[in-house]
Amino acid sequence: MTAASLPVSANRGGGSRSWSDWAGFATFLAVAFVLATGIGTVGILLVVPIVFELAVAVTFMIRGRARRTAAGWAPRVMAYGSTFLLMVFMRVSVAMHPAWVAATTNPGMRSAGAILWVFGVAIGFWPLWHLRRAFSLEPQARVLITSGPYQVARHPIYASYLVNYTGVCLLRLTVPMVLVTLCWLALTCIRLRYEERVLVAAFPEYAAYRQRVPAFGVRLWRVGLPTSAPTAVQPLAELVRIAAKLDEPVGRG
């Protein structure tokens, strides 16, 4: 099934917390705990992502009920795969294949990676605050948010992850790390297609909003890197080319 033929189901209202709210809350508390166990290796830099994951956990307890949800297993696979792929890869690699996530030896690359990593997480708080009552991992529609960072980007949280994971990739610039990062971005692009299907179904005005506001804050197809980019930045060029597809037209089906 493709995003163009995605079925969307309407949901009944209700005031109580659903099992998915509690599951999301517990999951991101666990993610914060897992990050905290590694604080000895990264130090104070981990405080920012730990607080971010705790903030994500809280959103599950304050969000409203979904008005629409994408039906089927494929949207959920894309959502959970995109969310947890890099976390699982990093943990498995550290335990079983440390060379896959070996630290970059170039000091300049490491400094740039650390700055992008922390900056990407830090800027994620702004859209998370605006989306707090509409946050979801699965493609769902609760409230249409177009204020604050959503005036600049349709998906500012994912834009912050793009910056964040680019930084992580620079810190661990190995072939497996690059491949997994590209895989994450491909899953995210598919995930956002599903999400936008649900939003168009729930909010007809979203189609005009989509034409007006780019996915990640800039029209990436206008600033794409050349195919002949130097070897060191070719992975980043590929990230840009994949992400640019988000601003291609999407039909209503």
Per-residue pLDDT of the chain (253 residues; tens, 9 = 90+): 334 445 555 554 445 678 889 999 999 999 988 887 764 455 566 788 889 999 999 999 999 999 999 989 999 999 999 999 998 999 899 889 999 999 999 999 999 999 999 999 999 999 999 999 999 999 999 999 999 999 999 999 999 999 999 999 999 999 999 999 999 999 999 999 999 999 999 999 999 999 999 998 866 544 444 444 444 444 444 554 545 555 554 443 3
Cα dist. 181→23, 79, 89, 165, 186 in Å?
Answer: 26, 15, 10, 7, 9
Determine the Cα–Cα distance for residues 251 and 206; give it in Å rounded to an integer: 12
Query: Looking at residue 217, what is its pLDDT?
Result: 81
Pairing outcome for strands 140-141 and 8-10: unpaired
The overall longest dimension of the chain from CA atoms, in Å, is 55
Task: Walk me through the domains of the chain, giving residue ranges and CATH numbers.
Answer: 3-247 (1.20.120.1630)
Determine the Cα–Cα distance for residues 122 and 116; give it in Å rounded to an integer: 10
Determine the Cα–Cα distance for residues 61 and 121; give it in Å rounded to an integer: 21
Query: Looking at residue 239, what is its pLDDT?
Result: 52
Note the pTM of the prediction, 2 decimals: 0.80
Cα dist. 246→49, 109, 211 in Å?
Answer: 26, 28, 11
